[in-house]
Amino acid sequence: MRFLFIVQGEGRGHMTQAISFAQLLSSQGHDLVAVMVGKSKRREIPAFFEREIKAPIRLVESPNFECDGSEKTILLGKTLRKNFLRVGTFRKSLQTIHQLVTETQPDVILNFYDLLGGLYNFFFRPKAQFWVIGHQYMIWHPDFRFAPHRRLEKILFQLNTKLTGLGADEVLGLSFLRPEKYASRVRVVPPLLRAEVKKLPVSEGDFYLAYMVNPGYGKEIIDYAKSHPNTKIKAYWDKKDAADRESPLPNLTFYRVNDKGFLEDMAACRGLICTAGFESVCEALYLGKRILVIPVAGQYEQACNALEVLHAHIGKTAHHFDFFQLESSDLQQKDLSLDFRNWANAWHPILENLLTPTLNQKATPTSQWSLT
């Protein structure tokens, strides 16, 4: 089968998932013919993605979050306003996607939670099957936990998730743990972990690891390192103008997102503290590390992720980068890790089952997308 990926460019999570799925396809003899990535002025496509995806990459302008001046808090109103003013730009992006689909003739278009992917499928009706994948689609599972007292944000999160998957033939919800309940609206699947993660030798070094999707959180880490000079910290960020490596303090080093170094440090760290994205938590859980998540201010999805991490006993949550909570943690990640590893390694038969039906005719879209 021939696959084309559409990948949201915010953070590293969707890109690492795309790499993992590409590895999975290759192992079963399928082809990734092209990758479309939604770009942002705030970020650059990491070198590791260009190196590891092993398929032609096309960049397009895509909707992105807008932050405050400190590059820390997501501003919902500004995000909606700025993206609305760029409708003409996004229309051109849809035409670019259609051109690539026409050139490559994929059997399956797989969308990693980019809004343009859903809009493209709705307006252009390609012959290829249209699949969507991401942890966000677990909102259609009865066990999903929504952050309380934020009704408008919840509605917008549901709406955005619906739009990314308009007319989807397969809705694949990445889940931290194997679900106990069946859900007709979403096919629950394991996390997508790259082969490199599964081969890492695990140890416990003398440092803590930090990852932040928004560089504004860097000041919090610097302040903590100043007041705790005996705590050694390695921090990774996606700051566009940052050096590859800089050490503002003897006990603190910042690195630009470098996936090989990040994974090696994760395997050797005492614990991970990160913004509440899905992928980094899964990697740390697979390696049996202590985990503390900080939901990005103003990002409702991350507030939901933090709730799930807490209630599933995967890790702790906080509102600030407080490494002391990792030092005092009595969590049992190593006990959870074995079950999680078995779940994460269950992808091969799932993919075979997904690809069993013939793909020479696009299936009739289901009606799972009614909002509740």
Domain(s) of CATH 3.40.50.2000: residues in the chain: 2-193+345-355, 195-342
pLDDT in tens, the chain (372 residues): 999 999 998 767 899 999 999 999 999 999 999 999 987 666 677 788 888 998 999 999 887 766 655 555 666 677 677 767 778 788 999 999 999 999 999 999 999 999 999 999 999 999 999 999 999 999 999 999 999 999 999 999 999 999 999 999 999 999 998 888 888 889 999 999 988 999 999 999 999 999 987 777 888 899 999 999 999 999 998 777 778 899 999 999 999 888 889 999 999 999 999 989 899 999 999 999 999 999 988 889 999 999 999 999 899 999 888 888 887 665 455 567 788 999 999 999 999 999 887 444 444 454 444 444
Q: What is the pLDDT of residue 283?
A: 94
CATH classification for the domain delimited by 2-193+345-355, as one of 3.40.50.720, 3.40.50.2000, 3.40.50.300, 3.40.109.10: 3.40.50.2000
Query: For residue 195, how many C-alpha atoms fall within 13 Å in the half-sphere facing its CB?
Result: 11
Q: Which pLDDT does position 363 carry in this prediction?
A: 47
pLDDT in tens, 188-223: 999 999 889 999 999 999 999 999 877 778 888 999
Neighbour-count burial of 77, counting CB atoms closer than 10 A to its CB (0-12 exposed, 13-18 middle, 19+ buried): exposed
Q: Please state whether beta strands 187-189 and 232-237 pair in parallel, antiparallel, or not at all (unpaired).
A: unpaired
Q: Could you tell me which residues come within 8 angstroms of residue 145 by beta carbon, excluding any fewer than 6 positions away?
A: 304, 307, 308, 311
Distance CA 269, CA 29 (A): 36
Give the model's pLDDT for residue 335. 63
Please name the helix (run of DSSP H) or strand (run of DSSP E) that holds residue 188, with its range, or none. strand 187-189
CA angle 220, 222, 228 (to 5 degrees): 100
Topology of domain 195-342, CATH? Rossmann fold (3.40.50)
Cβ pair 7, 110 in contact under 8 A: no
Instruction: Specify the pTM.
Output: 0.87
pLDDT at position 47, please?
A: 81
Q: Contacts from 353-356 at CB under 8 Å and sequence distance 24+?
A: 354/170, 354/187, 355/1, 355/30
The pLDDT of residue 87 is: 80
SS3 state at 37:
strand
pLDDT at 80: 73
